[in-house]
Structure 1
Amino acid sequence: MRAGRPKPGPGRAFAFGDVVLLSIPFVARPEYGRAMRAAIGAKVILETANPYPERDGSLAKEVRPETWTCFAKDRAAE
């Protein structure tokens, strides 16, 4: 196993390592997954996307529980 950072470019991280940290906008996940299906293969993906309705639209609203919004509002008031 090797650690490091691959050269920039679509799919290069998947060719580089066995474990990949994927940090893309939540709304881009379905299209990215379809486009990179062959490269992803059996890799372990650590995915950091957080659904933000302001950025990701209706898809984020479907998967984001109301409690997240309430928590965020409560934290902002502190």
Structure 2
Amino acid sequence: MVIRFDVGIYDGLCALLDVTLSPGLRTYDLSNGGIELPQSGGFLTPYAARLEKLQQDIVSGRIDVPNAPKGLVGSPAVDAAAGPGCP
């Protein structure tokens, strides 16, 4: 997976220049180009169609990707599911 920081930075700069930038959390994921699966090197070429289908299923909500490791319970699971926080 590649985390596309450039997408968020570009969006932020465009909003700043358009004078539409507002405070708040922005989430970048598969649906908006913030994360992608590179296919350079040709290793994944045989699986490209299947990977594209899986990506579409994740974006549409047909596949739910857990955000806490299986078996993690209690407070650690809640913390993991919340994701990273900012101080």
TM-score normalised to structure 1 length: 0.26
More helix by share: 1
User: Of the two structures, which has the highest relative contact order with CA contacts closer than 8 Å and spacing of 6 or more?
Assistant: 1
